[in-house]
Amino acid sequence: MDGNGRWAAARGYPRFYGHIRGAARVKEVVRASREIGVRALTLYAFSTENWKRPEEELAVLWKILRKYLRREVGELKKQGIRLHVIGEIDRLPRDAGMELRSAVETLSGGRHMELTFALSYGGRAEILAAAKSIAREALQGKLDPESLGEAEFAARLATGGLPGSGDVDLMIRTSGEKRISNFLLWQSSYAELDFPEVQWPEFTVERYRECLQAFSTRKRRFGGV
Ligand code: FPP
């Protein structure tokens, strides 16, 4: 969800206003995903690198996240949407972390769509954590590294419980930047990529539908013919 800051600056607003408008898009895109029948939607809301931002901007982001949860959890529950969080959730301010855990608990019965927020998330850190846990178990003699296949490794990533072990079908990055920026590195091995030239606050449901439509016409060969 890139481009909140640039969207705001281009219009003479403070950066935080871009995040407020961005949260409105989150609400719309999540609801539309459920309606369209998307099985899993993962939103990169905060990277491990985003901690370098000014304190005031961070404070506004956590406030927006809490407000989103307070306002939307009822609707998400009604829609059968289950919530997951991936990333270093313990680094978040206490109140935001508590609110997130409570929302995850409230929505744990959802069966129609998996919604994941990546918060203080980094793809390399995730892969490293899985590798360390495997090494620990091997050292304790609980696991034979030779027996480990890609599916077993994927199951140890934070997305292991998601449909298809978290493999990404379509990755959309707004703002026109053509980078993956440490997002779901293992899981996006065969992902189709889309880089719409709009900032996240301009990413309407209509534009989202266009991305899905374009995705549906792509031929995915997964290395085959
Ligand atoms: C990237 O734009 C966006 C973020 C770092 C924050 C995303 C947060 C939201 C959309 C709102 C809250 C989220 C939820 C899940 C309710 P940027 O600030 O990097 O923009 P720039 O690259 O133009 O500076």
Residue among 4, 69, 99 whose CB has most ligand 1 atoms within 8 A, to mutate: 4
Whether pTM > 0.85 for this model: the answer is: yes
Tokens representing 172 are: 């959309």
Q: What percent of the chain has pLDDT over 90?
A: 95
CB atoms under 10 Å from CB of 42, counted, come to: 21
- Tens digits of per-residue pLDDT, 51-93? 999 999 999 999 999 999 999 999 999 999 999 999 999 999 9
d(CA 216, CA 31) in angstroms, rounded, equals 20
**Given this model, what pLDDT does residue 225 score?**
78
Residue among 2, 11, 116 whose CB has most ligand 1 atoms within 8 A, to mutate: 2
**pLDDT of 223 above 90:** no
**Given this model, what pLDDT does residue 152 score?**
95
Point out which residues pair with 86 in neighbouring strands. Answer: 118
Which distant-in-sequence residues (6+ apart) come within 8 Å of 178 by Cβ?
A: 195
**Given this model, what pLDDT does residue 197 score?**
98
**Given this model, what pLDDT does residue 222 score?**
83
d(CA 193, CA 32) in angstroms, rounded, equals 20
Confidence band for 21, pLDDT divided at 50, 70 and 90: very high
Residue 90 falls in the annotated catalytic set: no
With H, G, I as helix, E, B as strand and everything else as coil, classify residue 185: coil
Distance 3 CA to ligand 1 centre (A): 7
With H, G, I as helix, E, B as strand and everything else as coil, classify residue 2: coil
Of 4, 50, 95, 144, the active-site residue reads 50
Segment 135-144 mean pLDDT: 97
Residue spans of alpha helices (H) in the chain: 4-10, 15-36, 55-78, 94-106, 123-139, 150-155, 205-216
d(CA 2, CA 173) in angstroms, rounded, equals 7
Could you identify the atom of ligand 1 that is nearest to the CA of residue 20? 11
Residue 2 falls in the annotated catalytic set: yes
The per-residue pLDDT of the chain, averaged, comes to: 97
Q: Which residues line ligand 1 (CB under 6 A)?
A: 1-6, 19, 22-23, 26, 43, 45-46, 50, 61, 64-65, 68, 117, 200
**pLDDT of 130 above 90:** yes
Which residue, chain included where needed, has tokens 């290395």? 223
Confidence band for 32, pLDDT divided at 50, 70 and 90: very high
Domains delineated in the chain: 4-216 (3.40.1180.10)
